[in-house]
Amino acid sequence: MNHSLPVSAPPDLSVQLGRLALANPVLVASGTFGYAREMQALVDLSRLGGILPKTITQHPRKGNVPWRTVETASGLLNSIGLDNDGIDAFRQHHLPYLTGLGTAIIVSIAGRTQQEFVALAQQLGEVPGVAGVELNISCPNVSGGVDFGTDPSQCQELVAACRRHCPHPILAKLTPNVTNIAAMAVAAADGGADAISLINTCQGMAIDWRKRKPLLGNVIGGLSGPAIKPIALRAVYQAAQAVSTPIIGIGGIATLDDVLEFLVAGASAIQLGTVNFYNPTAATTILDALPTALAELGAQSVSEIVGTLKTSN
């Protein structure tokens, strides 16, 4: 007689973000993972839920003057300025490699005008193998384009225009540097975003008081890392209360506990950012432990715990 206990099926890690289906909720954020080649010796890239390469623009950008990064207490200030070689070089040199990695490739784009965003989205819409397009309407380190992330009407119009001209799922990446994050989330949802990514970095600066000069060449930069996690959690929670559109949580996520906090707060998936610089294997470590954590909660899938935060006694 066989008295062995039945083996339960592992939890379902797959997530659905509008039209975008992912194998699991753990992605890596744009600007922190290069073009993935830099990480291939350290990470099994095919295990990731998705990869967001460095943001691309219509034309090459040199970026901001040095210093571009400054380490802070529990965080990192950056003012890269969207340094990139432009969409033509990206399509020719990086996309063929990226689309062969066996995971979802979501391309981050930025423009100074709605027309530039639409043109980029339209060009990527012609490329097979691209899983989605993330609209970077929230970078604090460049001039132009940021209004789309701070003005609800412009945000809605931009998302809608990109969706009309691009067949791929559209993600809108929002900034925390606004008075009402819920209003911006509603605007992105009304524009037809398949998912809302939040947050981008918080504005900050660093100073050398002896020289009485800023440390960043651009004076002000974007703060990321563990220091901004409470802000990001708050933004995800508030946005999740305002829209039914899936949310991707970003901001200070480094451990399994962080991931579960964002999922419970209302995120359907997460992106790892600054942690990739100091612990590039964080994503796979989290993926290894995620099934056990879900089982501990009695959940058979990721979706079962999304937005289950209890705020009343």
The beta strand positions in 67-184, using DSSP E, are 69-72, 75-78, 104-109, 132-136, 170-173
> What residues act catalytically?
139
**pLDDT (0 to 100) of residue 6:** 54
pLDDT in tens, 128-155: 999 999 999 988 878 766 679 999 999 9
**pLDDT (0 to 100) of residue 226:** 98
- Report yes or no on 162 lying in a domain: yes
Burial of 158-188, coded b for 16+ CB within 10 Å and e otherwise, reads: bbbbbbeebebbbbbbbbbbbeebbbbbbbb
- Report yes or no on 135 lying in a domain: yes
- Report yes or no on 75 lying in a domain: no
**pLDDT (0 to 100) of residue 147:** 75
DSSP codes of every residue in 64-75: PPSP-EEEETTE
Instruction: With residue 55 as reference, give the H or E element that holds it.
Output: none
**pLDDT (0 to 100) of residue 4:** 56
Number of compact structural domains in the chain: 1
- Report yes or no on 102 lying in a domain: yes
Mean pLDDT of the chain: 95
* Angstrom distance (rounded) from CA 218 to CA 263: 35
- Report yes or no on 312 lying in a domain: no
Given a cut of 50, the residues of the chain with pLDDT beneath it are 1
* Angstrom distance (rounded) from CA 159 to CA 163: 6
Of 62, 131, 63, 60, the closest CA to residue 95 belongs to 131
The amino acid present at 188, given as its one-letter code, is A
The CATH number of the domain holding residue 101 is 3.20.20.70
The amino acid present at 179, given as its one-letter code, is T
Residue tagged 């007689």 (tokens)? 1
What is the residue range of 106's domain? 15-65+81-205+227-305
Asked whether the beta carbons of 195 and 245 are under 8 A apart, the reply is: yes
- Report yes or no on 221 lying in a domain: no
- Report yes or no on 273 lying in a domain: yes
* Angstrom distance (rounded) from CA 102 to CA 107: 15
- Report yes or no on 257 lying in a domain: yes
- Has this prediction a pTM greater than 0.75? yes
pLDDT in tens, 27-64: 999 999 999 999 999 999 999 999 999 999 999 999 99
* Angstrom distance (rounded) from CA 100 to CA 97: 5
The beta strand positions in the chain, using DSSP E, are 15-17, 20-22, 26-28, 50-51, 69-72, 75-78, 104-109, 132-136, 170-173, 195-198, 202-205, 207-208, 213-214, 220-224, 247-250, 269-272
